[in-house]
A = this chain, B = another copy of it.
Amino acid sequence: MLRLFRRGGRPRAASPAITPRSEAVASVRVDLVQLTPAPDAFLGQAGYLTLVLFENLGRAVQAAPTTAAKTALSRATAQVLEAHEGLVTEMLGLGIDPVAAMDPFRAGLDEFQRRTRGADWPEILVTCYLTTGFLADFFTALAGGLPQGLADRIALLLDVDRGEEVLENELRALIEASPRLASRLALWGRRLIGDTMLVARSALAIEGRVAGEPGIDRIEPAFNELIGAHTRRMDALGLTA
């Protein structure tokens, strides 16, 4: 995503501490800040989610058919784990018990992981590429509604190299070698996005809110923007979203 925008030559925003990796984030943030949950819920969910994304990348490392892919993916895995540890550190600093904060999200996110695990190396790659991209964009945008200092720190924490380049390169090579694989992966990508959007939606503080209230009506455009970024990720692989 980052690379796509950079290629497009669009300038990045100025403010350094909170400049997001993707420009979609900036516009989505405006829409979502009124729906950001309290810090403990945000950090608990983001904390458990980074564990899930780490586990997915770990499975990609395990499944990698070459040493080069293994070691490149292990770097991304380490970065996602660092984000997890950073979130745990934030919780401790705020006097939030990390385990108690993460536990309520465990069942839902474990189920998400089970549904999106993928059957083989290409599917695991697509899972990592698409779900990590979408959810990192989403949570980075959502972090904008946290108290100011915390918001900036979280945006930095989540702005990690999640291995998009190596994932993209590996997937492109696989897809170029097998057009049949492309249609299977396109299908897989479409299935993934549904489950991923459910996770994102469940993170919003919208319980009891009704249409017309500030914030609530902005979910739709925010998600359209995130889906746009998803479509560009699929395009980058030559897949139809």
Give the interface of A toward B (CB within 8 A): 47-48, 51, 54-55, 58-59, 61-62, 66-68, 70-71, 74-75, 77-78, 81-82, 84-85, 88, 98-99, 102-103, 106
Contact = CB atoms under 8 A, between A and B. Distances in A.
Contact of A71 (B66, B75, B102): B102
Stoichiometry (number of copies): 2
Binding site of A, secondary structure by majority: helix, strand, loop or mixed?
A: helix
B71 A82 contact: no
B61 A54 contact: yes
Given A58-B61, A62-B58, A106-B67, A74 B99 contact: no
Nearest to A98: B71
A66 B98 CA distance: 12
A54 B98 CA distance: 23
6 shortest interchain CB distances as A-B pairs: A58-B58, A78-B81, A68-B99, A67-B99, A67-B102, A55-B62
